[in-house]
């Protein structure tokens, strides 16, 4: 038995710094569920990202107007006031190049119906909850590196 062998490691818990640029990309994570937001933020931080959090659309817009972020993870359905679709409208006018990945527990037909009020019918990449973390990480990295065509929010 090798005394230096500490046993199996988990990719989920161990960050892989080789996958990220030299600076830690800053992500704004917007989700009204504190539990889901906390779990996803923790996972992303373990992967080497800097994560800012917002619990609603209004907080997200305030953050986007006053701080720089490299990408946005956006829940579409948030109660009370501004939702993810409102944030997409703002991005269409003011931050068109910002990489966005959508998160939602909404049925797809409801998402399609809500799209009619958007300036563009193209949606950024969408992950339905529960989130596939490996898939999300791959798409997020491609978005940040500019290797994935971005929708015009």
pTM value? 0.82
How many CB atoms sit inside 10 A of residue 54's CB? 23
Residue 108 lies in a domain: yes
Residue 149 lies in a domain: no
- In this predicted structure, what is the pLDDT of residue 5? 46
Residue 32 lies in a domain: yes
Residue 1 lies in a domain: no
The parent domain of residue 62 ranges over 21-144
Residue 153 lies in a domain: no
| CATH number of the domain within which 92 lies | 3.40.50.2300
Per-residue pLDDT tens digits for 13-42 = 444 555 555 689 999 999 999 999 999 999
Residue 63 lies in a domain: yes
pLDDT category, 77, cuts 50, 70, 90? very high
Q: How many domains does the chain have?
A: 1
Opening angle at CA 45, ends 76 and 30, nearest 5 = 15
């Amino acid at each position: 038995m090798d005394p230096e062998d500490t046993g199996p490691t988990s990719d989920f818990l161990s960050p892989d710094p080789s996958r990220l640029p030299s600076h830690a990309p800053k992500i704004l994570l917007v989700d009204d569920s504190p539990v889901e937001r906390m779990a996803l933020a923790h996972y992303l931080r373990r992967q080497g990202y800097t994560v800012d959090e917002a619990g609603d659309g209004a907080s997200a817009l305030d953050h986007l107007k006053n701080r720089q972020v490299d990408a946005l993870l956006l829940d579409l359905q948030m109660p009370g006031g501004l939702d993810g679709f409102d944030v997409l409208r703002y991005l269409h006018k003011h931050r068109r190049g910002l990489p966005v990945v959508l998160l939602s527990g909404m049925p797809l037909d409801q998402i399609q119906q809500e799209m009619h009020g958007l300036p563009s019918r193209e949606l950024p990449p969408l992950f339905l909850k529960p989130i596939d973390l490996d898939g999300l990480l791959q798409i997020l990295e491609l978005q940040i590196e500019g290797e994935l065509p971005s929708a015009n929010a």
